[in-house]
């Protein structure tokens, strides 16, 4: 990997490989099965969502303050529904805490029309209570306690098979596996380092040059077709094509192209052609090769290969990402790296993002009114998606502002556009109440402010800053009054409401799960209340709005080559993983986590280096912003499912700008 990549990334790769293999061995040992399609092979599991424990029953109340269920009278009971596609289970595991006294209890299992199938009597105790179920399809169950008691339900889990192992064995097994694995991994590392690191270093690294030549030659030939285009024309074409690619992603969501394999193929082809066209438009190289010898490129390449292999082995709902990366984004990165002024391409990207945003604002204003008490969905059917889009556009405005702050002749139109863009984004974000996106937005501002400190400040900078602040205050006033009125009323006044299919109307309080389709009280609860509720709840489930349950399901289903699609993870909902890393593992198998983590780490690192680089341009801020945005948003949202989000595309577009950031361009 050369000087740039050094021993560190390699050490990380081998350590992670060792840890993952040890982990796999451990769970396989504990579950006594070798199943590469599901390492933790304990059969199907279904956890009842925590929010269901709060429902009221017959003399059965949930105390929100203490978090306890209180049975006020004898034979108090509560009915729970089994919201899972599987209805026939082997066992029911009941985890009880803070039980005031042991009491006889019974569980009635009910059929599809609530008819009684069978009853199990048992002694309710603190801790785990395991009930063996009979062979039948259970749609509901009634949990009743004989005596008036109070207790907390820590979890109710349906199991296909009984869990006949104890987790306390796990550390010992893991340690043994690790002890066995690590020497082997390090021996391999040592041998590779010794053999390849010395003698054949130059030969070994030629493959990346071969890859570059595979991109460069066709680009060189194809660029001859565009002979005669001026830079201005090329720039315009690039902006239009970027805009088309954003529209493709948006309409893919709206029209459900991803769900239909034929539409998906056409969409990917169209997207690929878009990026190849941009690559051809941007190609400025001749026979010059770029220094791509860094872990970021290797990680990107490894991810692409992993995706291709995984796509081949497992027939997925969303496919061809690896081929798209290698065949469309690869030439695009090559062209980007070949440009004498790569900031031109970035500028075009940001411009098209801004164009798209203003078009979205227009659509929202005219066609998508705000409903009080409901989180604002914007042009999407879900507020989190819209918020994700907003933070992607936010990058464009922040970068543009950063570029313009130091300019002597700052155009008023540019200033106004930026400030208005930033303020409206904040306004929309508040309406969406998406905490993950707001955290991302906040991080983007932190990065922006951090970027401002190393700058050599001069009079013009402060003068521009003052103008920005004044204009911001005016914009805030305008947006919070006129803007909010407009978004609430214009569409209703001119009767132009445009419905989106399968739109999720989430109530603004934030108590319910993110996947709930119920519309409850339309109270005007703001973002701060939602934030406070989450923080003060003191429970992971509430803090992450049910995501913990989803994460648990995804972690349980780790395997070698990935799954066909999302998993049934939250009360019968086939939700995405709500975490980029987990989603990647789910899609492409456990080992993709290694290059993916490297990709994330180095994208942030090189983004920072790009800002600090001596030959930096003002637009270099975009790299760190897109990386940070992707990472932060990816912590609690799905950023990894391909062709879904504009953030995803922006991240992978800007990634190419960092491919040669560390060592700069070199001729080889």
Partner 1 sequence: MRENRKLHMFLLFLTGLLISVMITMMWLGGSFNIREFMSVGRVYDVSPVNLQQNSRRWSYDENKQGFWILKKRAGKYFELNGLDQPWNYLYLTIRETSVETLSGYVRYFGPGREKRYEQAIELHKGENIISLNEEVPMVELSIVFRKAKGQFVSISEIQLRTTPRVPVSAFLSCFAVVFAGVAVMLALVLFLKRRFVRGRRENHVIEVLSDSVQDVIRISGDAVGSRTGGRLYSHQRESVRKFLFSVLIVWMMVGNIFEWLQNAEIYRYHVLICALLLLAISFVSWDKPLQNGFFQGALFKSWLCLWAGVILCDLFVYRSLESVTGYGMLFAGIVFLYFWQNMDRPDRMFYNLMEALEITFFVGIVFCMFFRMKLPAIDYNGMFRNPEELAMYGVLMALVFMSEINGMLDDAAGRINTKDGIVGKNIFAACVKNITGVSAALFFVLRSGHMPGILIFVLSGMCYVLILAVKILKLIKRYRMLMVHIIMATCLAFACVCAIFFSIKYLPETFDLDVTYGNELRLTKLKGSQRRMFLIENPRGLKGTKIKEIRKLPDIWGSYARRLNLIGHGGTEIIYQREIKPYNAYLDMAYHHGIFILLPYVAFQITIVSAGFYLAFRKKGRRNMFPLFLGISYVCFSFCANVEISWGHPLWLCFYLVTGEGLRKRIT
Rg (CA), the chain: 28
109 or 324: CB nearest partner 1: 324
The contact pattern for partner 1, residues 153-192, with x = CB under 8 A and - = no contact, is ----------------------------------------
d(CA 354, CA 243): 10
* Whole-Å CA distances, 583 to 80, 282, 577, 641: 30, 33, 5, 7
CA neighbours within 13 Å on the CB side: how many for 298?
A: 20
The contact pattern for partner 1, residues 371-390, with x = CB under 8 A and - = no contact, is --------------------
40 or 561: CB nearest partner 1: 561
Q: Which of 225, 184, 229 is nearest to 18 (CA)?
A: 184
| Minimum separation from the CB atom of position 292 to partner 1 (A) | 15
222 or 366: CB nearest partner 1: 222
Choices 50-58, 212-220, 285-293, 406-414 (CB under 8 A): range interacting with partner 1: 212-220
219 or 425: CB nearest partner 1: 219
Choices 99-107, 202-210, 245-253, 337-345 (CB under 8 A): range interacting with partner 1: 202-210
* Helix boundaries (H) for 224-342: 231-255, 261-282, 295-313, 321-324, 330-338
Candidate residues 210, 228, 232, 501; the one interacting with partner 1 per rule CB under 8 A = 210
Q: Does 269 bind partner 1 (CB under 8 A)?
A: yes
* Helix boundaries (H) for 614-662: 621-636, 646-658
561: which 2 tokens? 């080559």
190 or 312: CB nearest partner 1: 312
Distance of CA 48 to the CA centre of its chain: 24
Q: Does 565 bind partner 1 (CB under 8 A)?
A: no
| Minimum separation from the CB atom of position 334 to partner 1 (A) | 12
Number of residues that bind partner 1 (CB under 8 A): 18
> Which class for 481: exposed (0-12), middle (13-18), buried (19 or more C-beta within 10 A)?
exposed
CB of 2 closer than 8 Å to CB of 205: yes
* Whole-Å CA distances, 467 to 395, 450, 481, 618: 21, 20, 21, 19
330 or 427: CB nearest partner 1: 330
| Minimum separation from the CB atom of position 564 to partner 1 (A) | 13
326 or 379: CB nearest partner 1: 326
323 or 414: CB nearest partner 1: 323
Q: Does 251 bind partner 1 (CB under 8 A)?
A: no
Compute the Cα dihedral for 8, 325, 638, 18 and give only its sign. Answer: negative
Q: Does 67 bind partner 1 (CB under 8 A)?
A: no
Q: Does 312 bind partner 1 (CB under 8 A)?
A: yes
CB of 243 closer than 8 Å to CB of 352: yes
Q: Does 265 bind partner 1 (CB under 8 A)?
A: yes
β-partners of residue 79 are: 142
Q: Does 261 bind partner 1 (CB under 8 A)?
A: yes
Neighbours of 89 (CB within 10 A): 24
Q: Which of 297, 303, 175, 291 is nearest to 584 (CA)?
A: 303
Candidate residues 194, 266, 411, 457; the one interacting with partner 1 per rule CB under 8 A = 266
Residues in the chain: 668
Where does residue 114 fall: left (phi above 0), alpha (psi -120 to 50 degrees), or beta otherwise? left
Choices 180-188, 264-272, 286-294, 365-373 (CB under 8 A): range interacting with partner 1: 264-272
| Minimum separation from the CB atom of position 467 to partner 1 (A) | 50
| Minimum separation from the CB atom of position 313 to partner 1 (A) | 9
Q: H or E element: which one contains 24? A: helix 7-31
Residue tagged 């071969």 (tokens): 210
| Minimum separation from the CB atom of position 63 to partner 1 (A) | 53
Residues 6+ apart with CB under 8 A from 344: 231, 235, 282
Q: Does 206 bind partner 1 (CB under 8 A)?
A: yes
280 or 479: CB nearest partner 1: 280
| Minimum separation from the CB atom of position 236 to partner 1 (A) | 21
For partner 1, the binding residues in 216-235 under the rule CB under 8 A are 217-218, 221-222, 224-225, 227
Residues 6+ apart with CB under 8 A from 95: 127, 128, 129, 153, 154, 155, 156, 157
| Minimum separation from the CB atom of position 41 to partner 1 (A) | 21
Candidate residues 166, 262, 449, 499; the one interacting with partner 1 per rule CB under 8 A = 262
List contacts with partner 1 (CB under 8 A): 206-207, 210, 213-214, 217-218, 221-222, 224-225, 227, 261-262, 265-266, 269, 312
């Amino acid at each position: 990997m050369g000087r740039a990549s050094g021993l560190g990334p390699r050490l990380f790769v081998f350590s992670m490989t060792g840890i993952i293999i040890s982990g796999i061995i451990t769970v396989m040992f504990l579950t006594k099965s070798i199943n590469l399609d599901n390492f933790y092979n304990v059969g199907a599991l279904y956890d009842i969502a925590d929010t269901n424990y709060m429902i009221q029953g017959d003399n059965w109340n949930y105390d929100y303050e203490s978090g306890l269920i209180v049975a006020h009278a004898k034979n108090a009971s509560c009915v729970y529904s089994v919201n899972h596609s599987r209805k026939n289970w082997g066992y029911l595991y009941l985890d009880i805490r803070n039980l005031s006294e042991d009491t006889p209890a019974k569980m009635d299992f009910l059929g599809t029309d609530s008819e009684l199938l069978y009853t199990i009597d048992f002694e309710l105790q603190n801790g785990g209570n395991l009930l063996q179920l009979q062979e039948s399809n259970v749609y509901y169950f009634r949990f009743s306690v004989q005596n008036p008691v109070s207790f907390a339900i820590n979890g109710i889990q349906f199991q296909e098979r009984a869990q006949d192992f104890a987790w306390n064995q796990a550390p010992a097994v893991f340690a043994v596996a690790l002890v066995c694995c690590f020497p082997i991994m390090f021996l391999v590392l040592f041998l590779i380092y010794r053999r390849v690191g010395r003698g054949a270093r130059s030969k070994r690294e030629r493959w990346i040059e071969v890859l570059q030549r595979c991109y460069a030659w066709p680009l060189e030939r194809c660029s001859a077709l565009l002979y005669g285009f001026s830079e201005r024309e090329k720039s315009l074409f690039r902006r239009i094509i970027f805009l088309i690619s954003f529209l493709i992603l948006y309409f893919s969501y709206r029209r459900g192209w991803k769900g239909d394999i034929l539409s998906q193929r056409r969409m990917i082809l169209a997207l690929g052609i878009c990026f190849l066209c941009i690559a051809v438009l941007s190609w400025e190289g001749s026979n010059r090769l770029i220094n791509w010898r860094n872990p970021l490129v290797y990680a990107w390449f490894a991810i692409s290969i992993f995706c291709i292999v995984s796509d081949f082995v497992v027939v997925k709902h969303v496919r061809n990402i690896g081929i798209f990366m290698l065949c469309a984004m690869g030439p695009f990165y090559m062209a980007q790296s070949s440009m004498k002024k790569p900031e031109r391409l970035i500028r075009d990207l940001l411009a098209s993002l801004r164009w798209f945003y203003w078009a979205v604002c227009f659509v929202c204003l005219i066609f998508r009114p705000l409903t009080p008490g409901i989180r604002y969905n914007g042009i999407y059917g879900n507020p989190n998606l819209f918020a994700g889009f907003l933070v992607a556009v936010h990058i464009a405005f922040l970068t543009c502002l950063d570029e313009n702050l130091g300019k002597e002749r700052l155009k008023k139109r540019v200033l106004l556009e930026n400030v208005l863009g930033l303020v409206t984004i904040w306004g929309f974000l508040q309406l969406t109440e998406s905490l993950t996106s707001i955290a991302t937005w906040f991080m983007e501002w932190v990065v922006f402010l951090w970027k401002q400190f190393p700058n050599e400040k001069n009079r013009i900078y402060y003068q521009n800053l003052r103008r920005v602040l004044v204009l911001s205050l005016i914009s805030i006033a305008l947006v919070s009054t006129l803007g909010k009125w407009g978004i609430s009323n214009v569409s209703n006044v001119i009767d132009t409401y445009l419905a989106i299919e399968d739109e999720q109307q989430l109530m603004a309080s934030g108590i319910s799960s993110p996947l709930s389709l119920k519309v409850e009280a339309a109270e005007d609860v703001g973002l701060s209340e939602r934030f406070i509720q989450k923080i003060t709840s003191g429970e992971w489930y509430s803090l992450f709005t049910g995501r913990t349950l989803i994460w648990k399901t995804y972690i349980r289903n780790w395997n070698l080559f990935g799954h066909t699609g999302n998993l049934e993870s939250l009360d019968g909902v086939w939700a995405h993983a709500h975490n980029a890393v987990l989603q990647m593992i789910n899609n492409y198998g456990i080992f993709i986590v290694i290059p993916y983590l490297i990709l994330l780490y180095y994208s942030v690192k090189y983004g920072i280096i790009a800002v600090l680089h001596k030959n930096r341009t003002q637009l270099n801020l975009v790299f760190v912003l897109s990386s940070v945005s992707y990472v932060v948003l990816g912590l609690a949202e799905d950023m990894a499912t391909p062709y879904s989000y504009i953030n995803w595309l922006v991240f992978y577009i800007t990634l190419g700008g960092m491919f040669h950031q560390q060592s700069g361009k070199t001729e080889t």
